[in-house]
Amino acid sequence: MEDTHALVIGEALIDIVETAQGARELVGGSSANVAVGLARQGLPVRLHTRIGRDARGAMIAEHVASAGVALTAPSWSDAATSTARAAIQPDGSARYTFDIDWSVPAPSLDGAALVHAGSIGLFLQPGGDTVLAALEGAGDALVTLDPNIRADLVGDHAAALAHFERAAAAADLVKLSDEDAAWLYPGASAERVLEAIAAHGVRAVVMTRGADGVLALGPSGLVEVAALPVTVADTIGAGDAYMASLVFSALDDASLLRAPDAFEWALRRAAVTAGITVSREGADPPRRGEVDRVVGFSARG
């Protein structure tokens, strides 16, 4: 995969994490987390985002660079770097309050074998339309999508759903959580949600359900995979780590979207990746070797 590069488009921000012990600042943002997760798997990754020329922007740049992620030049802005205040709940889940402005130029798609987008970057305007245009213009590149709904930011439900479904129609692989599904398709069963998304031409749709594991619709129909049993520190970045693992697997194995065994293996590997992430604080996805030691991935070959 040394000649492969993935382009991740979306928000990078500072998570201000509030716990009973106080507040601390960590690099976050769904797209930044996915980019870091991918780079830690050994992939060349470019992140197209929006950060300020300030101390928080420098913190983000240093963090992603340390993982091996290359920021695109247009990612820098004279505006302040965005933040998300994350209040950790007793069960380890995070409740967010955002201070974010998403205005981003169109990215270069040259040389991208895969284009990934989602979350705030997909929906928040004016940048949301720019991101959508990039997905629709990705050509022969694989396209992956994670709506990662932030209800306070996506606006009107009907408009957001239409925007998501247009993006899904450009995607090969969609991952969403059960909470995303409940917001996008209220009252629909998990199976019905997967079928509705697949009807737009998506080759595989994956729904994460926390401790209840994953339900997916792929090459052989519906498949369930259990979550990795761990002690949860917090859930920040869990879905992003899962997404990064799926993207890695899609680029690593060209049969993923057509071979049932390859697809199920990718789901199991992603469950391990997410499980390791939730076992430690903050959005801290594992490196490839950490995952390999649990699932024996390197021996699959």
Residue 188 lies in a domain: yes
Q: What is the CATH number of the domain that holds 91?
A: 3.40.1190.20
Instruction: Kindly state whether residue 72 falls inside one of the protein's structural domains.
Output: yes
Domain span at residue 111 reads 6-290
The string of pLDDT tens digits covering residues 218-232 is 999 999 999 888 776
**Domain presence at residue 173:** yes
CA distance 90 to 217: 32
Name which residue leads in pLDDT, 91 or 36.
36
Q: Is residue 300 in some structural domain?
A: no
To the nearest 10°, report the CA torsion of 271, 123, 127, 78: -70
- Cα separation, 174 vs 243, in Å, equals 9
At residue 33 the predicted structure's pLDDT band, cuts being 50, 70 and 90, is very high
Report if residue 297 sits inside a domain. Answer: no
Chain segment 134-165, per-residue pLDDT in tens: 999 999 999 999 999 999 889 899 999 999 99
- Total domains, the chain: 1
Within a domain: 111: yes
- 156-189 pLDDT per residue, tens: 999 999 999 999 999 999 999 999 999 999 999 9
143 contacts 34 by C-beta, under 8 angstroms: no
| Under 8 Å between Cβ of 212 and 109 | no
